[in-house]
Amino acid sequence: MGYTTDFLGHIDITPSLNEAEQAYLSAFSLTRRYDREEGPYYVPPNPYADQASDDTDRTNRPAPGQPQLWCRWVPCWDGCCLALDGEEKIYEPTRWLDYLLQHFLVPGAEASRSGLEVFDDFTFDHRLDGLVVGCRRDNKELFEIRVEDNVISQHVLRKADPRYLDYPPLPYEEVIDRDRRQTSRRRSGSRRLRTV
C-alpha cells in the first residue's frame, strides 16, 4: 500500500542546468528506473510512451545502484533548481538526490566516464544548495533534506508518532488530495477527448 509524504522546498543548482541536462533529467524522472538491458542511464526517446519489459521480475527490480523504481526529482523550467514532482508516493528522496548528484551533476560524476553520447553536452560542474521539508502522512514524521555545497544530509525534525496511524487526514492533506483528484480527472478527460 505504501505511504504518502508531502514535500515543500527546492534545491538550487549553480550554474543552472543547460538544455541537454534539463531534458535528460526530466525524461529520467518520467521513466520507471528498472533493470533495463540498455543499462541504468537509458531513457527511451519518448518517456511518456515507455514500454516495460515483458519480464515482470526485471521490470520490478531497480537498475543496479539506483535506490528505487521512480526518481521523483525534476528540474524546474529554467534549470536553476530541483524539486520533487508532487506525486502521491515518493520513496527514497535523499538517496535519489545523492544518486543524481554523484552520477550527473558534479565534477567527476559517474556518467562523465560512461562514454555515452547522451552526456556529451553535460557540464558536470554544478553546485547544489537548498532545503526540502517532508511530512509523512501515516505517522506525521517531519524531516528535512538539506544540501550545502553538494553535501546532503537528512534530519528528523519531529519523530514519528504511531498514534496518528488511525487518524483522519489533516485539513491541508484533504486539500492536496482534492486538488490531485481534480487534476487527475482533467488529465483523463483530455486524454479521452484526444482519442475520440
Tell whether 11 and 98 lie within a shared domain: yes
Give the domain range for residue 144: 5-160
Tell whether 154 and 172 lie within a shared domain: no
pLDDT value of position 55 = 77
Tell whether 36 and 98 lie within a shared domain: yes
pLDDT digits (tens, 9 = 90+) for 48-82: 877 766 778 888 999 999 999 999 999 999 999 99
Q: Splitting the chain (196 residues) into consecutive groups of 10 residues, what average pLDDT does each group show?
A: 91 98 97 93 86 79 95 97 94 97 98 97 98 96 98 98 88 88 74 50
pLDDT value of position 189 = 64
pTM for the model stands at 0.88
Rounded Cα distance between 19 and 176, Å, is 31
Give how far Cα 25 sits from Cα of 13, 31, 50, 127, 180, Å.
Answer: 13, 10, 15, 16, 24
Tell whether 103 and 146 lie within a shared domain: yes
Tell whether 96 and 174 lie within a shared domain: no
Number of domains in the chain: 2
